[in-house]
A and B are shown apart, each in its own frame.
Chain A
Amino acid sequence: MATINIKNPGLLTTIQDKGRWGYQRFGMSVAGAMDLFSTTVANLLVGNDENEAVLETTLLGPEVIFNCDDIISITGANMGPKINEQPIPMWTSIYVHKGDKLSFSRVQTGIRGYIAFSRGLDVPEIMNSKSTFIRGVLGGYEGRKLNSGDEITLGNKSLDYTGSYLPKSLIPDYNSHHSIRVIMGPQDEYFSESAKETFLSSKYSITSEADRMGYRLEGPKIEHKSGADIISDGIVFGSVQVPGHGSPIIMMADRQTTGGYTKIATVITPDLSILAQMAPGSTMDFKAVSVEESHEIYREYNNKYNEIKDFIANNRFDFNYIRNLDLKINGTSFKVDVREIE
C-alpha cells in the first residue's frame, strides 16, 4: 500500500483542503488551509485537483518517510525543505523515491508550509472535506494534528512523470510588515470617526496569541461609541472583531461560525493568504477599499491564478530527463538539476 510515515510531526502539522463549506448554518466551522493560495498552487504543481488535501505545517516542519514513489511540491513558508538531507527547491514538482526522507531545516520566510502529494491523501471525507478541525475532533487524520508514528495512506493515482515550477515573479513575498486591505463593516458604525481613523492609520502587531482560529493584535486601542457587544451574528474568514478591550482580533480558518463582538472591518480574500503567512511579532497596517474596488482586486487575483495555471500546464519538464550535475565555481561545489522543458 502506498503510504507515508510521520517520523516527526514538527510543531503543528495537519491535513487540510479548502475547508468544510456549506455547513456553517449548523454551527460547523469551515477549517481548511490557512493559506489557500499556496495550497492550490501546491496541488497544481503535482497535477492534482486544486481542492485535494495537503499537509499544512507550522513553523517547524515534519520528517516524512515515503514508502512509495510520489511527486510532491512544497509551497508557502520557506522552511528549508530537504530530501535525504539535500536542499530541494520550493514551488517546484519534486520526484521522490520509495525510502526517501523529507525534512526541513528552519523557517526563513512565512510561517506555514504546504506539502502536496500527487497520489493524494486517502483520508475519509466528512461533510465533503478532508480538513482537520482540531477543536471539533473531526476530519483529517483522526480529527487531530499528526503525531510521530502516524502512517497516512496515499491514493492509488498513477504518477505522471512530468513536473513544473512557478517562476519567481509569481511567488509571493512574505515580509515582516504588510498592508492588509479591508472593507469597513459590517459593524463600523459602532465606532466613532476618530476610532476608525486610529484603526486605519496605526500599525498593529501580531501577538503570541495567534493560531488557526484567530490572531490577536496589539496596537492603539479602538474605542467603541457605546458597547462592544452585538446580538451574535455570522463571522467570516478575515472578520476583524474588536471586543471591549479595544484590540482587534482577526478571525482565521478555524473561526467559530457566529460571534457577539463588533466587527469593524473584513480582510479581502486576496490578502488572507498573505495574512496566513504572518508570524507573531510581524506588523500590519489596514487600508480600506470599497466593495467595487475589492471585486476589481479579486478579478485581478483570479487572473493571476489563471496565469499560474496556464504557466504550469505549458511549462513541463520530464523527470526521466533530469541531469544531476556537480559544478565547481570559484572553488565552491554546486549540485545542479538540469531539466529539459518541453
Chain B
Amino acid sequence: MYNETKFIPAGDKSLVMEFGNSIKPEINAKISNMVKSLDKLKIVGISEIIPTYRSILIIYEPLVIGYSTLVSSLKKIEKDLGKANSSKTRIVELPTVYGGEYGPDIEFVAKHNNLTIDEVIKIHSSTDYLLYMLGFTPGFGYLGGMSEKIETPRLQVPRTKIPAGSTGIAGKQTGIYPIDSPGGWQLIGRTPAKLYDPLSDPPVLLNAGDYIRFIPVDEKEYLRILDLINKDQYKVNIVEEGESHGNN
C-alpha cells in the first residue's frame, strides 16, 4: 500500500484513486471501506464508482464539482475511514457440485497435481476467496486466495460454450462463469446460484470485497436447489462477519 494515496486524472470526467501497486487483501479492504463510505455519503457531482484490485475509478461531472474540490473531499473521506466503525464482511456461500458432467476437468486437475479428486474438492472448498473486483463480463469476479496445490494451466483448446455457474481453474486463479460463454478454464464444478440476472436490481449476486465460500453438494442437492432457483424460491446464504476475517 502507498504511504500516500495517489489521485490521477483519467480524462476530463474521471479520476483514479490508487492505493497501491499490488494485489493484497489489505488494499482491497481499504477500497471496500472507501466505496461503502462514498455510497453512503453520495457526494454531489460523483456519478459512478468502480472499484478494482488496487484503485477506484471515480466518474464525476466537472460542471458540478471541480477536480481539486473533488480530490480534497476524497482525501477527507479517506482520512475519516479509520475512525468509522469497521464494517462487516459478507461471506457468500455458493453450493457447488464437483466433478462429473458439471466439472469435466476435475480428473485432469487432480492428475496434474498428484491429488485425488476428493482432495481437489477439499482443497478448493476449504478456503474463503476474496472477490477483488468484478469485470471482464457482467458478474465475473476476480477471486484471490486459491491454494497453489491445485494450480492448473488453461485448456489448450478453449471450449466454445461453458454453462453459466461453471467453476474453473486457470493457472493460479479460480472463478465462476456468470453467463454461458466460451472459455479455456479447467472446469471442476458448477453452482446453481444465479450470479448475474440483468432483470434484477442489483443485476449481480456478488460484490467486490465479498468472500466466496464453495459448499460441496451432491448432484441431487444441486438439482433440488436449481429447481428452487428456477421457481424463485431460493436465497443464497450470506454470512456476515466482523472485519477481521481469518482465512486469508
Contact = CB atoms under 8 A, between A and B. Distances in A.
Given A22-B48, A24-B48, A236-B57, A256 B12 contact: no
A268 B139 contact: no
B11 A26 contact: no
B82 interface: no
Interface residues of A, number: 39
A135 B116 CA distance: 39
A314 B52 CA distance: 47
Contacts, number: 134
Interface string A123-147: 0001100000000101000000000
B137 interface: yes
B138 A268 contact: no
A25 B208 CA distance: 8
Contact of A26 (B54, B62, B134): B134
Given A185-B10, A186-B9, 12 more contacts: A24-B57, A25-B207, A26-B202, A136-B138, A183-B10, A233-B53, A234-B57, A256-B135, A258-B52, A266-B11, A292-B67, A298-B62
A290 B67 CA distance: 11
Given A234-B55, A256-B135, A263 B67 contact: no
Contacts of B50: 24-25, 234, 257-258
B8 A186 contact: yes
A267 B13 CA distance: 10
Interface string B36-62: 000000000001111111111101001
Contacts of B16: 186, 233-234
A267 B14 CA distance: 11
Interface of A: 21-29, 126-127, 136, 138, 183, 185-186, 231-234, 236, 238-239, 256-258, 263, 266-269, 291-292, 294-295, 297-299, 302
A231 B21 CA distance: 7
B22 interface: yes
Interface of B: 8-14, 16, 18, 21-23, 35, 47-57, 59, 62-63, 66-67, 133-140, 142, 179, 196, 198-199, 201-204, 207-208
A138 B198 contact: yes
Given A183-B9, A233-B54, A26 B14 contact: no
Contacts of B62: 294-295, 298-299
B135 A232 contact: yes
A127 B207 CA distance: 17
B78 to A, nearest CB: 18
Given A26-B134, A299-B63, A231 B53 contact: yes
B53 A27 contact: no
B67 A295 contact: yes
Nearest to B54: A231
Given A234-B52, A269-B13, A295-B12, A26 B139 contact: yes
Given A233-B55, A234-B16, A236-B14, A295 B66 contact: yes
B28 to A, nearest CB: 11
Contact of A232 (B35, B133, B196, B202): B133
Nearest to B6: A186
B22 to A, nearest CB: 7
Contact of B51 (A25, A127, A256): A25
A263 B10 contact: yes
15 contacts: A21-B47, A23-B203, A26-B138, A26-B203, A27-B136, A126-B199, A127-B198, A186-B18, A233-B52, A233-B53, A256-B136, A258-B135, A266-B12, A295-B62, A298-B13
Nearest 9 Cβ contacts at the A-B interface: A234-B57, A266-B11, A258-B135, A294-B12, A27-B134, A186-B8, A26-B204, A233-B52, A28-B138
Contacts of B57: 24, 233-234, 236
Contacts of B18: 186, 233
A238 B11 contact: yes
Nearest to A124: B199
A88 to B, nearest CB: 35
